Amino acid sequence: MNASVNNSPLIAVEDLHTYYGKSHILHGVTLHVGPGEVVGLLGRNGVGKSTTLKTIMGLVRPIEGSVRLGGQPITGLASHKLARLGIGYVPEDRRIFRLLTVMENLRTGLDRQGVTDARKQELLDKVFTYFPVLAERRNQAGGTLSGGEQQMLAIARAMMLEPKIILLDEPTEGLMPRMVSQIRNIVEVLHRDNVAILLVEQNVPLTLETSDRVYIMEKGAVRHHAAARDLKVDDAIIHQYLGV
């Protein structure tokens, strides 16, 4: 454990135990993400990375352990409340509302209380600048978009919530290289805007490049924790846990 520990983490996950039915998936996950920090979560398939994100998002209830947002306990809160508190979620399979248009998909996050029309327009302009293709297809049904476009829409949709943190689950899975670099750009933009990101990825180089710190999971728990730049130098650890 050679990474610097932030004094007041935005998200602090403590000893999380989660079950699906009878199978014990998370065996005491502990991690934290500081404000505006990009944190990578690496590990082989099935070690519980996605489940960690789902548990933070309130989609799965932990049996034990706690999640705090800005110091406040949020364990077990309904996910719509967590979304309003500033947690954005971009799931692994994107889960675009397929029969809703691009614009309607964005409106699911935009039509909140206390957002002025001017602010709504600003938020839309912002994502349309980064993802011009979404502006072109604003009246097209989400289900008709390509995989990469759906990924952009999923990220843009989460950005509509003006989140403090985005839980980003395998955003580059199955995308063409050109799309991957667009995803990398948007992660950097969010980073500049001081939005924290907890990034689950199979793409190790991308994760090491974009993240400040990295956690490596194995069998439902965090086994290793390091600054991304240290792992770039020393790939023995990557090799040991991920076999790449």
- Residues in the site for another protein, rule: CB under 8 A? 57, 59, 78-80, 82-84, 89, 91, 95, 97-100, 104, 107-109, 111-112, 143, 157, 161
User: 221-227 and 72-73: which strand pairing?
Assistant: unpaired
Distance of closest approach, residue 168 Cβ to another protein, in angstroms: 13
Distance of closest approach, residue 99 Cβ to another protein, in angstroms: 6
Output the CA–CA distances (angstroms, integers) from residue 164 to 45, 59, 141, 188, 210, in the order listed: 27, 18, 28, 15, 18
Q: Are 87 and 165 in contact (CB under 8 A)?
A: yes
Backbone angle region of 37, left / alpha / beta, with phi > 0 → left and psi within -120 to 50 → alpha:
beta
* Residue among 79 and 202 whose Cβ is closer to another protein: 79
Task: Look up residue 101 and give its DSSP letter.
Answer: B
* Residue among 29 and 90 whose Cβ is closer to another protein: 90
Task: Name residues whose C-beta falls within 8 Å of residue 76's C-beta, 6 or more positions apart in sequence.
Answer: 58, 61, 62
Nearest residue to 88 via CA among 63, 108, 114, 118:
108
* Residue among 83 and 134 whose Cβ is closer to another protein: 83
Distance of closest approach, residue 15 Cβ to another protein, in angstroms: 24
User: 165-169 and 87-90: which strand pairing?
Assistant: parallel
Distance of closest approach, residue 6 Cβ to another protein, in angstroms: 25
Q: Are 206 and 172 in contact (CB under 8 A)?
A: yes
Distance of closest approach, residue 78 Cβ to another protein, in angstroms: 7
Residue in this structure with the two tokens 């007041």, named with its chain if needed = 8
Distance of closest approach, residue 89 Cβ to another protein, in angstroms: 4
Alpha carbons within 13 angstroms on the beta-carbon side of residue 1 total 6
* Residue among 88 and 220 whose Cβ is closer to another protein: 88
Residue 127 to residue 124: CA distance in whole angstroms = 5
* Residue among 101 and 202 whose Cβ is closer to another protein: 101
* Residue among 64 and 104 whose Cβ is closer to another protein: 104
